């Protein structure tokens, strides 16, 4: 976290982006205390925007505040992850079925571009880039004008597990598996097969949860 802030009025967002990158990259791992002074120094900002950024992340569930101890990257049990993924299953099936008929050529191009970016990042072993591309891929599929509130909740659920998603992308095998899953998802979209799309999205989530269960059991 060494990039300087870009100017007045952007420091809080700069701090927020820097903290997100640190969590995704594994520089800040679940259960680890966030050293605010070090973060501020690394980002070239004062403590104040770092504190504001941490409050935003706390609302998202990515960090937890303990009185007299400070902020820690949220540490989830497998039961917590299972609950979150079960909620995602319900909401994302609803979103996918409603969004599929609205996906036009521009949307398909965005989906396919994000899928290609995932491939490039996976081949390069760039976890942060793959996470970003993966997120663009899924939200390009699910987003539609009539689902503003559902998408807000889905984003919150994604944000709350970002540190854990980064863990399984550290595995080359899982990076390849994600690329294969995305190909099957895109094929279902081109066929306009809502049942197949929902099934492929569910299988993709189930695989991620299975991998995370193994990681947490090992830890």
Please state the rounded mean pLDDT for residues 10-34.
87
When pLDDT is cut at 50, 70 and 90, the band that residue 52 belongs to is: very high
Per-residue pLDDT, averaged over 121-128, amounts to 84
- Kindly report, residue by residue over 99-118, the tens digit of the pLDDT: 999 999 999 999 999 999 99
- Number of Cα atoms under 13 Å in the Cβ half of residue 77: 3
Evaluate if residue 5 carries a pLDDT over 50. Answer: no
What is the model's pTM? 0.76
Residue whose C-alpha is closest to residue 161's, from 44, 23, 42: 23
Q: Residue 174 above 90 pLDDT?
A: no
Q: Radius of gyration of the chain from Cα atoms?
A: 18
Which pLDDT value is given to residue 2? 44
Spatial contact of 212 and 164, defined as CB atoms under 8 Å apart: yes
What confidence score (pLDDT) does residue 179 get? 92
Q: Please determine, for residue 55, whether its predicted confidence score (pLDDT) is greater than 90.
A: yes
Q: What is the pLDDT of residue 1?
A: 52
Residue 175 has pLDDT above 90, yes or no: no
Burial class from Cβ neighbours inside 10 Å (0-12, 13-18, 19+) for residue 192 reads exposed
Q: Is 5 helix (H, G, I), strand (E, B) or coil?
A: coil
Task: Sketch out the chain's domains with CATH numbers.
Answer: 11-73 (1.10.10.10), 78-218 (1.20.120.530)
The pLDDT assigned to 138 comes to: 97
Q: Which residue has the higher pLDDT, 80 or 2?
A: 80
Answer whether 135's CB lies under 8 Å from 158's CB. Answer: yes
Cα distance between residue 115 and residue 30, in whole Å = 28
Q: Looking at the predicted structure, is the pLDDT value of residue 89 above 60?
A: yes
Average pLDDT, integer, range 22-31: 83
Higher pLDDT, 173 or 180: 180
């Amino acid at each position: 976290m060494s990039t300087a802030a870009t100017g007045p009025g952007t420091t809080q967002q700069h701090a927020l982006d820097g903290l997100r990158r640190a969590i995704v990259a594994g520089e800040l791992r679940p259960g680890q205390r966030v050293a605010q002074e070090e973060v501020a120094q690394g980002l070239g900002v004062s403590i104040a925007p770092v504190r504001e950024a941490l409050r935003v992340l706390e609302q998202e569930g990515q960090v937890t505040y303990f009185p007299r101890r400070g902020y820690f990257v949220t540490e989830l049990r497998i039961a917590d992850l299972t609950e979150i993924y079960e909620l995602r299953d319900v909401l994302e099936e609803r979103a996918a079925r409603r969004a599929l008929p609205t996906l036009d050529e521009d949307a398909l191009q965005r989906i396919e571009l994000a899928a290609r970016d995932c491939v490039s990042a996976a081949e390069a072993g760039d976890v942060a880039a793959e996470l970003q591309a993966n997120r663009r891929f899924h939200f390009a599929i699910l987003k539609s004008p009539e689902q503003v509130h559902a998408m807000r909740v889905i984003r919150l659920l994604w944000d709350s597990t970002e540190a854990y998603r980064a863990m399984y992308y550290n595995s080359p095998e899982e990076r390849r598996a994600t690329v294969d899953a995305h190909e099957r998802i895109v094929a279902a979209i081109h066929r306009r097969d809502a049942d197949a799309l929902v099934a492929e999205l569910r299988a993709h989530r189930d695989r991620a949860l299975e991998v995370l269960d193994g990681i947490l059991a090992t830890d």
